[in-house]
Copies of this chain bind each other. A is one copy, B any other.
Amino acid sequence: MIKLAVDAMGGDNAPSEIVKGVNLAIKKHEDLEIVLYGDKEQIEKYLEKNDRVSIVHTPYKLDMGEKNPVMAIRGNKELSLVKAFSAVHDKECNGAVTCGPTQCVVVGAHMIVKKLPGMQRVALAPSLPCVGGKSRMICDVGANVELKPEHIEQITLFASTFLKKTRGVENPLVGLLNIGVEPGKGREQDRETFKVLTENPNINFYGNVEPTEILNTPCDLLVNDGFSGNLITKTIEGTAKAIGQLLKENIKSSLGGKIGYLFMRKNLARFKKILSSDEVGGSLLFGVDGVIVKAHGSSKAYAVSRAIELCMEGVNGGYIETMRKYLEEETNTENK
């Protein structure tokens, strides 16, 4: 049995869509148990009774526009996010899912779940839309605006371990997101990161990857700092959105288009589903001592259920224990 903590009050559609997402996931997975943290009365409005779901009541929640996460989290131990994360830290739950604001999730995980000993930075890692039957992970997408080459190296090891343990990717191929394929391309930090990733025997480094190949690269994992990663994932989202609109307008603009649509509407629906960020389920927060999933603030029920499944996948894979051992060995070697 996997027991997950779900922050019922995080996100633009809390608690209704969060709870509905829990309803979906719990019906689908018999080995799943969920504890919802938030306003009991509001949660019960949407919750379908199930022995495997319980509620821990708290009237406090983070504001989606919270400007000072550190103060907010330090100041109130009763926040739904803090309680959900504490359940992970205290080993009452195996992982946590939240749609709360990114910086609050990062800060909260740092302060409550805490980094694995030896880990220098945490990173947000979502999967990209699955194109050509291949799933690709990208990190960091915004836990840190800046990262040093050695931070990217450690995060790469973490993400590679995740892909090996949970997705059966034997020797994850890693690409450095950059503005050109040649080794000398990019900023000074990119040239240094290129060197560090090349020299690490535990990283299967492919080389630089230009974002023209972002959804076609043979790589399993794409890395760079959180500013670049955030711009890239948001550009994918923005482009997909605009293309969807363009396609719709174009189809509607003629009779032929409208008739054609009747024939291929199933195809277009499937196409839309592949590109939908709902499918991805959110980002894993790598580097902390617990499986934490941060889903989009605008998540609806289905996206929440996918985020819960992503968290289950992480718990089942046991990547954190592998990474803990690796970091311990590394520290021991350094101390010798």
Cβ–Cβ < 8 Å partners of A275 in chain B? 243, 246
Q: A145-B187, A232-B231, A234-B179 are in contact. Are A131 and B246 (CB under 8 A)?
A: yes
Of the listed stretches A89-97, A109-117, A248-256, chain B binds A248-256
A227 within 8 A of B: yes
Which residues of the other chain, B, contact A260 by a CB distance below 8 angstroms?
Answer: 259-265, 267
Q: Does A247 contact B (CB under 8 A)?
A: yes
Q: Are B211 and A238 in contact (CB under 8 A)?
A: yes
Contact yes or no, B231 A179, CB < 8 A: yes
Taking A212-B237, A250-B270, A250-B271 as given, write out 10 further A-B residue pairs in contact, using a Cβ cutoff of 8 Å, ordered by the A residue number. A132-B245, A145-B187, A186-B227, A243-B275, A250-B268, A256-B263, A256-B264, A257-B266, A259-B260, A263-B263
Contacts of A129 in B (CB 8 A): 242
Stretch of A196-204, A213-221, A299-307, A328-336 on the interface side: A213-221
A241-B216 in contact (CB<8A):
yes
B227 and A235 form a contact (CB under 8 A)? no
The answer to whether A212 touches B238 (Cβ under 8 A) is yes
Contact status of A267 and B251, CB under 8 A, knowing A187-B146, A210-B234, A232-B231: yes
Q: Determine if A76 is an interface residue (Cβ-Cβ < 8 Å).
A: no
- A267 touching B239 by the CB < 8 A rule? no
Majority secondary structure, A binding face = helix
Q: Which A residues fall within an 8 A CB radius of B?
A: 67, 129, 131-132, 142, 145-146, 177, 179, 184, 186-187, 210-216, 226-228, 230-232, 234-243, 245-247, 250-251, 253-254, 256-257, 259-268, 270-271, 274-275
- With the chains together, A132 CA to B212 CA distance in Å? 23
A271 CB to closest chain B CB, in angstroms? 4
Q: Which 7 A-B pairs have the closest CB atoms?
A: A260-B264, A260-B263, A215-B242, A235-B235, A211-B235, A211-B234, A257-B267
Please give the distance in Å from A238's CB to the nearest CB on chain B. Answer: 4
Q: List 11 A-B contacts (CB under 8 A).
A: A131-B245, A145-B179, A146-B187, A179-B226, A179-B234, A239-B240, A250-B271, A256-B264, A257-B264, A257-B267, A260-B264
Q: In the complex, which residues of chain B have a beta carbon less than 8 angstroms from the beta carbon of A239?
A: 214-215, 235-236, 239-240, 243
The residue from B145, B250, B274 contacting A267, defined by CB atoms under 8 A apart: B250
Given B184, B236, B245, which contacts A235 in the complex, CB threshold below 8 Å? B236
Question: With A and B bound together, what is the CA distance between A247 and B244 in angstroms?
Answer: 11
